[in-house]
Amino acid sequence: MREPEDKRESNIENGDSLPSQEGREISDPVADILRSRDYKRTALLHMLVGLVIGIGGILPGVSGGVMAVSLGIYRPMIDAVANFFKSPKKNILFLAPIGIGAALGLLLGAIVLDGVMVKYEDQVMFLFLGLVAGGIPSFIREANQRGFKPRYLIATVVGALIASTLLFLDREAADSIEADTLRPLEALISGAILSVGTVIPGISTSFILMYLGWYKPAMSAVADFDILTLVFLGIGAVVCALLTIKAARWLFDRFYGYAYYGVLGFLIISAILIFPGFSGPLSAIVDLLLVAGGFVVAWLFGRIGT
């Protein structure tokens, strides 16, 4: 039996029947986020953080992971990767700016490393020393979110002892013979080593690559856009990062306080490892200003809560 015309109109008015969707704009949450002013500001901030992480990942004595911790983005980053498929759109929006910035930092560092590091190596190290030091206050706040126990300091000592092995690796790296180019297997291993320095704070992968004689050819491959080598570097980095991130996240979930204070030990030794020493009274003033500048930048990132 046909429903009366006035009855159908009443149903529509009461919301019992949906009107045609034609001409109506369908909301796209991801597109809305991309258009939002807050996301654009946060994405730019994360891109800058990624830039610092990328540069830190290839500078001798600096760890990309330390930069991630110092700038307050380490734990959110590994959570986003570990839980990627639970909320892929959200995690892509979070990780993409960091990844773009890191790639630019890696490229920029590889291109200008020879020129800048030869002339201003000490100054660059002092700047990164300030970045590391400036991130420690926010790092400790995060470490104490679930409370502080004195026994956590044992993990700090253990982390410092493990990181101290890098001091011996640094001495050996200077005498290593560099290869001219990387073979595919060497590129895979190099990529894996580079990713470890980002996932595990305090490990300077540059020293490891120098020790193996693969540091300069790896950086040359990035600077010269050697596609074949870059593909193998990327595969090694992604595979190793996925495996290492799972382990790192498990440690932080199961042993929160111990894990954070263990990383603090890595941070302390990294600062000692980076410190190049003062060469004179005048240069010391410039160096201290660079440390102060790096400290303020990292402190501000921590306050913003990236």
Q: 76-85 pLDDT, tens per residue?
A: 888 888 888 8
Tokens of 35: 């258009």
For position 306, what pLDDT does the model report?
45
Segment 124-148 mean pLDDT = 81
**Given pLDDT bands bounded at 50, 70 and 90, which one contains residue 16?**
very low
Nearest residue to 135 via CA among 199, 200, 71: 71
| Per-residue pLDDT at 292 | 92
For CA atoms 206, 72, 125, 117, give the dihedral sign: positive
Q: Which domain holds residue 131?
A: 29-304
Most confident range, picked from 113-122, 163-172, 247-256: 247-256
Q: Which of 33, 36, 64, 60 is nearest to 49 (CA)?
A: 64
HSE-CB for 102 with a 13 A CA cutoff: 22
> 3-class secondary structure for 123-161?
HHHHHHHHHHHHHHHHHHHHHCCCCCCCCHHHHHHHHHH
* pLDDT band at residue 8 under the 50/70/90 scheme: very low
**Is residue 21 situated within a structural domain?**
no
Checking if the pLDDT of 14 tops 50, the result is no
Domain-embedded: residue 11: no
Residues 13-33: what's their mean pLDDT? 46
Q: What is the mean pLDDT of residues 164-187?
A: 67
In a domain? residue 18: no
pLDDT over 80 at 118, yes or no: no
The verdict on residue 45 lying in a domain is: yes
Q: What's the rounded Cα separation, in Å, for the pair 220 and 44?
A: 28
With beta carbons less than 8 A apart as the criterion, state whether 57 and 104 touch.
no
- Predicted confidence at residue 61, as pLDDT, reads 58
pLDDT above 90 for 212: no
Confidence of residue 151 (pLDDT cuts 50, 70, 90): very high
- What are 195's two structure tokens? 């990713």
- Give the Cα separation of 263 and 268 in Å (integer): 9
- Residue 57 in this model has a pLDDT that exceeds 50: yes
What is the mean predicted confidence (pLDDT) over 265-288?
81
Q: Between residues 14 and 84, which one has the greater pLDDT?
A: 84
Is 46 contained in some domain? yes
Q: How many degrees, rounded to 5, is the angle at CA 163 between CA 217 and CA 48?
A: 60
Chain center to CA of 42: 15
| pLDDT higher than 70, residue 171 | no
Helix axes of 88-143 and 256-274: crossing angle, nearest 10 degrees = 80
> If DSSP codes are grouped into helix, strand and coil, which group holds residue 59?
coil
Nearest-angstrom CA–CA distance, 204 and 2: 78
**For residue 103, pLDDT beyond 60:** yes
Listed residue (122, 121, 143, 127) closest to 69, CA to CA? 143
Other Cβ atoms less than 10 A from the Cβ of 249: the count is 18
The answer to whether position 15 is within a domain reads no
Question: What pLDDT band is residue 53 in, cutting at 50, 70 and 90?
Answer: confident
pLDDT at 215 exceeding the cut of 70:
yes
Q: Is the pLDDT of residue 203 over 60?
A: yes
**Band of residue 114 on the pLDDT scale cut at 50, 70, 90:** low
Counting the structural domains of the chain, the total is 1
Alpha carbon distance 72, 181 (integer Å): 36
Whether the pLDDT of residue 263 is over 90: the answer is no
Specify if 1 maps to a domain: no
| pLDDT category of residue 150 using cuts at 50, 70 and 90 | very high
pLDDT of residue 156: 92
Task: Quote the mean pLDDT of the chain.
Answer: 76
Tokens of 51: 């830039």
20 located within any domain: no
pLDDT at 23 over 60: no
- 291 vs 199, residue with greater confidence: 291
